[in-house]
Chains A and B, each alone.
Chain A
Amino acid sequence: MKKITVNCTVNHKPVSLEIDPNKRLLDMLREDLGLTSVKEGCSEGECGACTVIFNGEPVTTCCMLAGQADGADIITLEGVSEDGKPDVVQQAFMDAGAVQCGYCIPGMILSAEALLMKNDNPTKEDAMLAISGNLCRCTGYAKIVDAVLLAAERKRGETQA
């Protein structure tokens, strides 16, 4: 097995790795780059815990090979916070009480971020659709949807954090 070179941008910084190709993108992010916010849940594309923003769109990294990241722009939860402080979406999740055990939250926040990057005035249905690929077994989703809408409001500058 020949090693491959993966050049990509991860959390706004260029990264170059020489790695074995028989790794999923999920494993590359966790093991080679230490980005452990990317969670392994179901390992079959169903739960959304391993979601990252890949070229502007949310994807499940358990369904991707590391080699497919070559040339891509990837954002994980580590790349969302600003100067170590929570960003508007993270703050909204805390304020809305949207977090219980927390395992789904990195993926949930990234799905929300991907929505708000395109649409800062989402309806409740837009928010529900955006997180429809992220399973949460604790909250029942109501407060997560509240958090996404609260983040959108704050992003538009209608209410202050």
Chain B
Amino acid sequence: MKPFDFYAPTTVDEALALMHQYQDSVSVVAGGTDLVLEMNERKTTPAVVIDLKKIKELDYIREEDGKFKIGPMATHAEVAADERIKEKVHILHDATRQVGSPQIRNLGTLGGNISQSSVAGDGLAACVALNADVTIRSVRGSRTMNINDFLAGEGKDKRNIMAADELLTEISFPAPDVKHTATAFYKLAKRKSLAISVIGGCMVVSVDDNGVCTSASMRAGAMGRYPMRFATCEEHLIGKKLTHALMLETLPIMHDQVYEANRSRPSVFYKKESVQGVFRKLFVDILGQLGIEEVQE
């Protein structure tokens, strides 16, 4: 590792002041499971490293005012173990409990996963499907935006709009009403543990008292620069009575969209088929959670 100066501030304000002072020469460590490896291989050579582990005000999971609010330093293990998330937000529970390995889940954080904005980030894809808001702060002030607006940027390494002196300080999303809203995640990977997602399938569906679909979010991680949205599939469900048969009708649309979007990639022949298998699993999970149909696959 190249030499650097190390700071471990205990408050967000201290961290922001340091980030403002050192700007582009700073690397911020949340869990370190990406950054420390990059530094060890000298792919990243910051002059200053700021460790966030001692900032207790960034490590929390709250449910208040009808919302879940998660501090960026909550680890994958903490999110996966949270009973409220487990009961009400299956998508985030299932995404975080399958990240890496027990050791990685004890280090890696949801905020780090979102800030890195990796194409295969499972926590990121789940938060996109949940239509989460993110709050970012700097000494210049604080701004809150939809995660879809956060995910924009030019170039290979610039995947979100955060400036060098900005820090992700909160992830929030409406607490699902589990009678009417179901959320699900399915990870397709080469093995169960220590695997990067080949497809991270995400689905969030709401129905009214008559079982008519009022909103739908269908996303897949690792299918492009950002979690791919199947907007035409979503539209196909909205306004109709939600059934397994209706959901299966979206699969050919999905197949064609994946093929068109990834034509230049050799993996497209696998992914255009396997994405349908991933969503078949999600449909069964969603219908079961909403008590609409018990489907045997």
Contacts and interface: CB of A to CB of B under 8 A. Distances in A.
A59 B107 CA distance: 7
B49 A65 contact: yes
B162 to A, nearest CB: 22
Nearest to A110: B103
B5 interface: yes
Contacts of A2: 5-6
Interface string A17-41: 0001111100000000000000000
Interface residues of A, number: 35
Interface stretch (B25-33, B152-160, B215-223): B25-33
Interface string B86-116: 0000000000000011111011000000000
A132 B193 contact: yes
A62 B37 contact: yes
Given A45-B33, A59-B107, A22 B2 contact: yes
Chain B interface residue number, banded: 20 to 34
Contacts of A57: 77, 102, 106
B106 A59 contact: yes
Nearest to A71: B54
Contacts of B163: none
B103 A45 contact: yes
Contacts of B2: 22
Contacts of A1: 3-5
A61 to B, nearest CB: 9
Contact of A63 (B5, B32, B49): B32
B194 interface: yes
Interface string A51-94: 10010011110111101101100000000000000000000000
A23 B54 CA distance: 19
A65 B194 CA distance: 21
Interface of B: 1-6, 8, 29, 31-33, 36-37, 39-40, 49, 51, 53-54, 77, 100-104, 106-107, 192-194
